[in-house]
Structure 1
Amino acid sequence: MNRYVLGCALAALTATLAAAGPADAQDSVRIGLVEPLTGSVAYNGKSVVEGARLAIEQINAKGGVLGKPVELVIEDGQCAPANSVNAVEKLVQKDKVAVLVGAFCSSATAAIMPVAAKYKIPLVTGVSSSAALTEQNNPWFFRAAETDALMAKAFAKILATDLKLKSVAYVGVNDDWGRGGVEEFSRDLSALGVKTALTEYFDHGTTDFFTLLTKLRAAKPDGIFVAAETQDGSILVKQFQEMGLQSKVFGVGSWATADFINLTGDAAEGIHAAVPYVSSVETPRNQDFVKAYQAKYNVKPGKYGAAGYNALNIVVQAVARAGSTDAEAIRAALAKTSYEAPNGVYRFTAKGQAYGFDAVLVRIEGGTPKVIASSPVEAPQ
């Protein structure tokens, strides 16, 4: 072969590899996952990772996607916006991931959304529930989770009636999610004639709630709405019991998870929680998932394990439909999602908000979340 022909061949090969992109040239399909693995939300972030790893294990056992194994590249975002942005920069620039999943806390997810848009790489969250996220019209962002607005709409009336609420105190972690949850539930409950007795916020990692609880005791509400994750929520509820407060507790967050119930003990009894998933739903698809999760981790999945599992399945199915790791093709494929999950069928609106799956209201009885109501999550109007 003469030099001219060899040069042309090399040029053609280089152009082909360049068109394929770095992700297509890899031996695996890499998916970047940003979750809080340290800090006060680590219990929940690790559960997301467990669900994601189970999904990848099952997918690879069936041959992977695009004829390649799926590789999960995990970074600790700590639920902190700056740390999460740094994690995404690494995943995109160094690890060359095809898709991003994360970043748990709504404030952290809000911080990485512009980064995903800058690099034009799809971003899916399985957890972040601040309604404001999908109102940004970021075409690269998809939320495979409920919003607190949807949960309040579904269950506010049932809570007000069943708990005989005339006044409610609202307590939430001081971030986008906590403030959003308080705003959504207080608005819908106020519309039903329930008075607001008090509104208080606390920081992630708080260990002493007694000043806040003294205010709650003085306010004498019928119910206390709480937006908190496992570590913060368990400490709050145990101190609530220590002070002998009798108000009925309900809210959003990690209430129905095994970690929360184990940490909180009998102080968790009677708590009501609005959640997108609970392991006790007796459908064949869910029970298959519960069996596989329990076999791998020796614990039943909670909402965060299910969130990680669902998000990774949604992403990999989109890659399969796209037929490549081209970012625009994956984004277009995500928009056409129809994923049969353990808790229903996920589809996305034009703004990237998931709908079609079932949400449930549970009450913790005997250390087990008992379903007392369910509602399909409908597309926002």
Structure 2
Amino acid sequence: MTANRLAASIFSFFAASGLVCTAAYAASPVKIGLIQPLTGSVAYNGQADVNGAKLAVAVINKAGGVLGHPLELTIEDGQCNPANTVNAAEKLVQKDKVSALIGAFCSSATAAIMPVAQKYRIPLLTGVSSEADLTEKGNPWFFRAAETDQLLARSFAPTLIRTLSLKRVAYVGVNDDWGRGGVQAFQQALQAGGVQTASTDYFDHGATDFYTLLAKLRASGADGLFVAAETQDGSTLVKQLKELGLNIKVFGVGSWATSDFIDLAGPAAEGVYAAVPYASTLATPENSAFVNSYTTVYKAPPGKYGAAGYNAVEIMAAAIQRAGSTDADRIRAALLQTDYQAPNGRYRFTAKGQAYGFSLVLVQIHNKVPQVVATTTVGAPH
């Protein structure tokens, strides 16, 4: 389906459901700027985040909007490129006059706009970027409604070691802040559990040829492969892995539990383990309602990025409502008071802006379904 046809079908659903605002209601909106990668190798995932964000806006506006006004998203394509993301943030703040920013998916891109948020004193919330140091930079305008790589590694390394009988693991990650951070976090956690490192390799976004890397993997003697990758790169890697007949246990972080990855990878997705903050198969009433709504609109169940976009908009909109104003200082103070029941748990923030209280999930892809293997909850940091 083309982007125009998809947009038309979504609009038709929203209109039929009473989720589209009238022209009179649409005056004087409360504006939130959203920066996601909509082109490039991470576009599948960025678009999923936007889909979730749009669904949240529709739900919020059907319930009366924010501060008696409709909520409006102004969306920019940051391409997961730090320079492009900074340009997008500057436009959203200076030209579009948004009251808050959400973005920017890749940790390196989010890190690039954190100084922009601080310069203009505007709240910035990411629902995706998981590089741990982001909330250690002392930026009072930055909030993260997502897990960190270390949290995932500490939570699930023991289960992976036990379930997969891991002895020697090879590590592969995309060569950016997130990929390197994910490899480092899981490598440390698995080594602490007695697992040896067979090899460590990185690839660039948009890579299409993993054969040389996989040949090295074959010679390494690894019995497990950890991968930090998003939809396009990850699906290409596992398909080439299967093509070469490598019998190795695959697990990792990224987009493994999403319908886009499962569809693109095809049979190669079978058996892959993923450590994620969200899976559509989570058994909670809030998640059942969210999955039904999302699937009705987008004809596929949500993955972690659809949930991330939905949660981020809900959290920011609720903070603006609590603030009683679009004043940035009041919104920032209201974000610190967040207590949001999401499809995947309860979100609250530490003084550093790190969310806690939500679920983390280890899943295995079986018959195209991310089946839950283990769950845990992110506790408040000590």
| TM-score bin, normalised by smaller chain | over 0.9
Written as runs of structure 1 = structure 2, the 5 A alignment for 1:117-266 is 117-266=118-267
How many Å apart are 1:379 and its aligned residue? 2.6
**1:52 match:** 53
**Secondary structure of the residue that 1:73 maps to in structure 2?**
strand
Q: Distance in 2 between matches of 1:308 and 1:252?
A: 18
Written as runs of structure 1 = structure 2, the 5 A alignment for 1:16-165 is 27-165=28-166
Q: Distance in 1 between matches of 2:213 and 2:380?
A: 37
Amino acid at match of 1:88: A
Gaps of at least 5 residues in structure 2 are 1-26
How many Å apart are 1:377 and its aligned residue? 1.1
Q: Distance in 1 between matches of 2:318 and 2:267?
A: 41
How many Å apart are 1:281 and its aligned residue? 1.1
How many Å apart are 1:350 and its aligned residue? 1.0
Amino acid at match of 1:246: N
Amino acid at match of 1:270: G
Amino acid at match of 1:244: G
Written as runs of structure 1 = structure 2, the 5 A alignment for 1:277-292 is 277-292=278-293
How high is the sequence identity, in percent, across the aligned residues? 68
**Secondary structure of the residue that 1:212 maps to in structure 2?**
helix
Q: Could you tell me whether the CA contact under 8 Å between 1:220 and 1:247 is conserved in 2?
A: no
Gaps of at least 5 residues in structure 1 are 1-25
Q: Distance in 2 between matches of 1:267 and 1:364?
A: 10
**1:320 match:** 321
Q: Distance in 2 between matches of 1:220 and 1:27?
A: 62
Amino acid at match of 2:50: V
Q: Could you tell me whether the CA contact under 8 Å between 1:353 and 1:379 is conserved in 2?
A: no
Q: Distance in 2 between matches of 1:48 and 1:74?
A: 11
Provide, for residues 256-287 of structure 1, a one-character-per-residue CA deviation record: whole Å limited to 9, x for no partner.
00000000011001100000000111211100
**Secondary structure of the residue that 2:346 maps to in structure 1?**
strand
Q: TM-score, normalised by structure 1?
A: 0.93
**Deviates most, 278-287 or 120-129:** 278-287
**Secondary structure of the residue that 1:82 maps to in structure 2?**
helix
Q: Distance in 1 between matches of 2:313 and 2:276?
A: 20
Q: Distance in 2 between matches of 1:238 and 1:303?
A: 22
Q: TM-score, normalised by structure 2?
A: 0.93
**Secondary structure of the residue that 1:171 maps to in structure 2?**
strand
Provide, for residues 195-227 of structure 1, a one-character-per-residue CA deviation record: whole Å limited to 9, x for no partner.
000000000000000011111001020100000
**1:350 match:** 351
Q: Distance in 1 between matches of 2:76 and 2:28?
A: 21
Amino acid at match of 1:277: Y
Q: Distance in 2 between matches of 1:106 and 1:330?
A: 23
**2:340 match:** 339
Q: Distance in 1 between matches of 2:275 and 2:381?
A: 18
Q: Distance in 2 between matches of 1:126 and 1:329?
A: 21
Provide, for residues 52-98 of structure 1, a one-character-per-residue CA deviation record: whole Å limited to 9, x for no partner.
00000000011101110001000000000000000000000000000
**Secondary structure of the residue that 1:369 maps to in structure 2?**
strand
Amino acid at match of 1:46: Q
**1:12 match:** none
**Secondary structure of the residue that 1:142 maps to in structure 2?**
strand
- What value does the CA root-mean-square deviation take over the aligned residues? 0.7
Moved over 3 A (4+): none
**2:294 match:** 293
**1:311 match:** 312
How many Å apart are 1:380 and its aligned residue? 3.1
Amino acid at match of 1:245: L
Provide, for residues 135-168 of structure 1, a one-character-per-residue CA deviation record: whole Å limited to 9, x for no partner.
1111000000000100001000000111000110
**Secondary structure of the residue that 1:370 maps to in structure 2?**
strand
Provide, for residues 290-314 of structure 1, a one-character-per-residue CA deviation record: whole Å limited to 9, x for no partner.
0000111111000000000000000
Aligned length: 356
